[in-house]
Copies of this chain bind each other. A is one copy, B any other.
């Protein structure tokens, strides 16, 4: 498979950034791994930072698209949450394990990088928060601050994914991780169940349960 020079550079850089970090990996490292000359890199990217940004932008974009695609299928909220978590996990795996980690460099070390990455995180976060908020409104997600919930969700996902990719006992985690994660995520978000029979059930919860029950039909109807 022949890749464009640019693609080779990006892939190599992504692997190296993930493995060794932005500062620890040198342009020569990238050039060597991509089998190009140092100078060639500068035909495609004006600077090392820009390579980093290209990668991060692309990765965040991919993730958003993935979730968006799922959402357009009009799944139940539970399905959406579980699917999103699992998709993100699988993506990391399929894409090559390494590049994924880029997303875990939480605090890029230069002002420009930090600023931009924070923006991207914020966008993804807002997207997820919006999904959650709409779930809350529909009663299919328990009442909570959408932003906090989204942050927690992403954090939880990154942590488990990261550990699966880089930590010990990876193999086991690669297998059972996604399901476990999806369950935790849904537990954290789902409305209290136990319909009318529970004395302590609040009104909000009651209607929530009702909404959940009807959700499937809604989805069915609205999908077209």
Interchain CB contact (< 8 A) of A155 among B142, B160, B188: B160
Residue A139, interface by CB 8 Å: no
Known pairs A184-B152, A188-B188, A193-B194; A110 contacts B24 (CB<8 A): yes
The answer to whether A194 touches B198, judged by C-beta atoms less than 8 angstroms apart, is yes
The answer to whether A184 touches B188, judged by C-beta atoms less than 8 angstroms apart, is yes
Interchain CB contact (< 8 A) of A163 among B110, B151, B157, B183: B151
Q: At the interface with chain B, which of A56-64, A65-73, A76-84, A101-109? A: A101-109
Chain B residue numbers with a CB within 8 Å of A185 are 188
Chain B residue numbers with a CB within 8 Å of A156 are 152-153, 155-156, 159, 188
Q: Kindly state the separation between the CA atoms of A166 and B160 in the bound complex, as whole angstroms.
A: 22
Q: Kindly state the separation between the CA atoms of A166 and B115 in the bound complex, as whole angstroms.
A: 11
Chain B residue numbers with a CB within 8 Å of A158 are 155, 159
CB contacts under 8 Å to B, within A83-118, are 101, 104-110, 118
Chain B residue numbers with a CB within 8 Å of A107 are 18, 21, 101, 104-105
Residue A122, interface by CB 8 Å: yes
What is the chain B residue whose CB lies nearest that of A104?
Answer: B106
CB distance from A47 to the nearest CB of B (A): 15
The answer to whether B197 touches A148, judged by C-beta atoms less than 8 angstroms apart, is no
Chain B residue numbers with a CB within 8 Å of A118 are 166-167
What is the chain B residue whose CB lies nearest that of A145?
Answer: B180
CB contacts under 8 Å to B, within A172-202, are 173, 176-177, 180-181, 183-185, 187-190, 192-194, 197-198
Q: Kindly state the separation between the CA atoms of A145 and B177 in the bound complex, as whole angstroms.
A: 9
The answer to whether B184 touches A144, judged by C-beta atoms less than 8 angstroms apart, is yes
Residue A154, interface by CB 8 Å: yes
Known pairs A147-B169, A158-B159, A194-B193; A21 contacts B152 (CB<8 A): no
Residue A36, interface by CB 8 Å: no
